Amino acid sequence: MSVLRWAARAVLGLSLTGIAAAATVEVTVDGIEPVQSNLYVALCQGGLSEANCRTGQDAPVRGTLQRVVLQDVAPGTYAVAVFQDVNGNGRLDRTGLGLPMEPYGFSGEAVRGARPDFERAHIAVREPGLSVRVRLSRALPPR
C-alpha cells in the first residue's frame, strides 16, 4: 500500500471516529437540602479530584429531588460527582482535614464512612446515554 493511500485511510479513520454520536447522561439527585442554593454536577475521568472533574454544569435548586441532563458526552468511563453549594461561594467547602462541609455524593455504590473511590463510582457511558442516581449526604452536621 502506498504511503499516500495509507495516509488517506488514516485521516478518514480519524475523521470517522469524530463522527460518533455523543451520549446524554441524566443525573437524578436526591437528598437535596431545601435551601436556596446551586447544584454542581460533574463528570470525572480517571479520578475524583477537582482536576479530573472538568465537565459538567450547575443548576439552581428547585426541590429535594432534581434531574440534571449532561449532553454531548463522549462515550467512555466516568464517575459522577455532585455537591450542593449551600453558601453560594461556588466551591465545595472542606474542613482543615479535607472533610466536605456541604452535601455531596457520587455515582456507583455508596459506602458510608469510606473515602470516595473512582473504582466504586465509575460508570460506562455509551450511546445514546444512561440515567444515574446520586444521593447527597453530609460528612458532618450543618454548622
Architecture of domain 21-135 in this structure? Sandwich (2.60)
Residue in the block written with cell 495516509: 7
Residue in the block written with cell 437535596: 32
pLDDT (0 to 100) of residue 88: 95
- CA 108-112-117 angle, to 5 degrees, is 45
The model's pTM = 0.82
pLDDT (0 to 100) of residue 110: 64
Which stretches of the chain score pLDDT less than 50?
A: 1-18
Residue in the block written with cell 465545595: 92
| Residue 43 contacts residue 73 (beta carbons within 8 Å) | yes
